[in-house]
Amino acid sequence: MAAAKKKTARGRKQDQARVAGGEKYEVGYESKKTGRSASAVKKAVKKVGNSRKRVEKRLGR
C-alpha cells in the first residue's frame, strides 16, 4: 500500500502572493483592502504584474 502524500502549504502561500486580475473576488478583496476602485486594481495588475506586494505598492498601501 502506498504511503499517503503529506499535504503542504506551498500552493496556498504561492496563491496568496498573487492577485488574479481576472477574478472578481480577488480584485474586490484588494480593492476593499486598499480603498481603491476595482478598475485601479486591474490597471495596477496589468502595469506591475500579479505580485501582491508590487500591486499594493503601486496602489499606495
pLDDT tens track for 8-61: 777 788 888 999 999 999 999 999 999 999 999 999 999 999 999 999 999 987
Inter-residue long-range contacts of 47-53, CB under 8 Å, 24+ positions, other chains counted: 50/18, 50/19, 50/20, 50/21, 51/17, 51/18, 51/19, 52/16, 52/17, 52/18, 52/19, 53/17
pTM for the full predicted model: 0.78
Q: Under a CB-based contact definition with an 8 Å cutoff, are residues 55 and 45 in contact? A: yes
